[in-house]
């Protein structure tokens, strides 16, 4: 009797499980390129459509998951792999995961893509290709000003390398598009790939 009830509960859980496919959308680009702004705009839109969405903000991850890491190449790689693990885990459970994280090195991003491929979890790379001149004018966190004043070194795209994706799934030019237009481009990509 107990076994029959447990089987019925299992079947009910399977039927009520989400049928949508999760995916990781990694938005890479320079500091102040617009990655986080696009991610939150898209998240709001997708939630309004009834989708399960999470944003893994790079600054929040640094504070809560990678607080002991610095900004050496090795530490940046470790940070990206941690984020990649969490994003794949969420995406494998039907969540659309938006990851606005610089991830400056191609090999680090490729390792995350391969983790997703091994697990059979969809992964899309979006290059938020805003020129450094535009990013430095925006300077959302004051990083470019600090670097120019000699108060900061190792700023990605200025005195530390940024390896732009050679063949991303999508390239967005935020200096030519509005936030909503950019978010719509990412949503269209998800739709075209059958992930909405």
Is 65 annotated in a binding site? The answer is no
Where are any strands of DSSP class E within 18-149? 23-28, 53-55, 96-100, 123-128
The b-or-e profile of 84-105 (16+ CB within 10 A means b, else e) is bebbbebbbeebbbbbbbbbbb
Beta bridge partners of 82: none
Say whether 32 counts as a known binding-site residue. yes
Q: The sheet that has 170-172: what strands, in order across it?
A: 53-55, 96-100, 23-28, 123-128, 170-172
| Distance, CA of 184 to chain centre | 16
Q: Is 29 annotated as a binding residue?
A: yes
* 36 assigned to a ligand binding site: yes
Q: Hunting for tokens 């938005």 — which residue is that?
A: 27
66 is in an annotated binding site: no
Angle at 187 between CA 131 and CA 46, to 5 degrees: 120
Residue 33 known to bind ligand: yes
CA-CA distance, 147 to 144, in Å (whole number)?
A: 5
Q: At what angle do helices 73-91 and 106-119 cross, to 10 degrees?
A: 30
Residues annotated within the binding site are 29-36
Residues annotated within the binding site for ATP are 29-36
């Amino acid at each position: 009797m107990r076994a029959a009830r447990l089987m019925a509960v299992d079947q009910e859980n399977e039927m009520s499980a989400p049928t949508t496919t999760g995916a990781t959308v990694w938005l890479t680009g320079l500091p102040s390129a617009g990655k986080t702004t696009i991610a939150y705009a898209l998240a709001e839109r997708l939630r309004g459509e009834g989708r399960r969405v999470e944003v893994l903000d790079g600054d929040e991850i640094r504070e809560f998951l990678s607080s002991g890491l610095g900004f050496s190449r090795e530490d940046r790689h470790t940070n990206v792999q941690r984020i990649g693990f969490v994003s794949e885990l969420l995406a494998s459970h039907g969540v659309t995961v938006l990851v606005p994280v610089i991830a400056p090195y191609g090999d680090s991003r490729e390792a995350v893509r391969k983790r997703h491929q091994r697990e059979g979890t969809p992964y899309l790379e979006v290059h938020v290709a805003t020129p450094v001149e535009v990013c430095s004018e925006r300077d959302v966190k004051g990083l470019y000003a600090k670097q120019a004043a000699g108060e900061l070194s190792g700023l990605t795209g200025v005195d530390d390398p940024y390896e732009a994706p050679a063949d991303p799934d999508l390239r967005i030019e935020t200096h030519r598009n509005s936030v909503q237009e950019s978010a719509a481009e990412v949503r269209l990509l998800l739709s075209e790939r059958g992930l909405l």
